[in-house]
Chain A
Amino acid sequence: MIEKADDDGELVRRAKAGDFTAFEALVSKYERPIYSLARRIVGNAEDAEDVVQETFTSVVEHLAQFREEASFYTWLSRIASNNALKVLRKRRGLATVPFEEEEISNARGLPRPEFIAPWARDPLDAGKDPSIRSMVEKALGELDEKYRLAFVLRDIQGLSTVDAATTLGITEGNLKVRLLRARLQLRERLTRALGDEAARVAAPADHDETRIDDELR
């Protein structure tokens, strides 16, 4: 987890003045989170390495234009996300088409929670267990791409709704619906693995039907 991301001002100013040591300190601090971001979007090591390389190269070239309105890490995350999305677009052979395969401005077919149980372990503690970490990343990798991207940019990377929607070329409403679906699907998967079976509760009566058809307001 990135902490004290707002404390980069001094390093950024020195790097802007040409201090390679300061720039290298920023690279050291953020190469791993940026690599993780790239892996989570593009899904393999080779493409993720290209994304990291392009991202930091781009920082060398454009650092002077960074106006420090957002944190350095947010700025870096936006560049890396755009580079990673380029890889996905290239893979599909669609250079300019946004990530909008369907118009989903409502919540039709929102999946209802089925396995409802409190988790047996604290999430931060569970996350340190390599087998759980691997299950967690696998669950994310198996999400439908459009839901995965919304979750990665908004919830993991912490981009604002506007930033995440702009990066993906979709509306904010669309982003929110995708994010909700991603959250619900991941909750279901993770709770089946991490939920305390003995404390499992039945879904409420009005959860009986499998789909919700009301419009999302």
Chain B
Amino acid sequence: MNCDDLLKALNDYVDGRIDPAVCERFESHLAGCNPCQIVVDNIRQTITLYKAGEPYELPAEFRNELRRSLRDKWKKRFPDR
């Protein structure tokens, strides 16, 4: 496996869905190729960074309006409660 082959198998490796035989060749390439190891680490860190963030806060006014409107809809849906 060379660096280009590694790129193509990158998704499956990062997602833990790589075929065991391919995985062995992938990891043996990584062991001898520092740049590819760094790229794999970078990709994992990139995903972690995005996954960890809830970057946008609801505007307070909208949040209140949302609650009001949901409460009204709930009352119509469950009129007995």
Same complex: yes
A interface with B by C-beta (< 8 Å): 1, 18-20, 23-24, 27, 31-33, 35-36, 39, 45, 48-49, 52-53, 56-57, 60-61, 107, 110, 112-113, 116-119, 123-124, 126-127, 133-134, 136-137, 140, 151, 155-156, 158, 176, 179-180, 183-184, 186-187, 190-191, 194-195, 201-204, 206-207, 212, 214, 216-217
**Structural contact, A214 and B4, CB atoms closer than 8 A:** yes
Across-interface contacts of A53 in B (CB, < 8 A): 66, 69
Across-interface contacts of A201 in B (CB, < 8 A): 34-35, 38
B interface with A by C-beta (< 8 Å): 2-4, 7-8, 10-11, 14, 33-36, 38-39, 41-43, 45-59, 62-63, 66-67, 69-71, 73-74, 77-78, 80-81
**Structural contact, A190 and B35, CB atoms closer than 8 A:** no
Given known contacts A1-B51, A110-B7, A118-B41, A203 and B35 CB-to-CB distance under 8 angstroms: yes
**Structural contact, A136 and B58, CB atoms closer than 8 A:** no
The residue that A27 contacts in the complex, of B48, B55, B70, with Cβ under 8 A, is B70
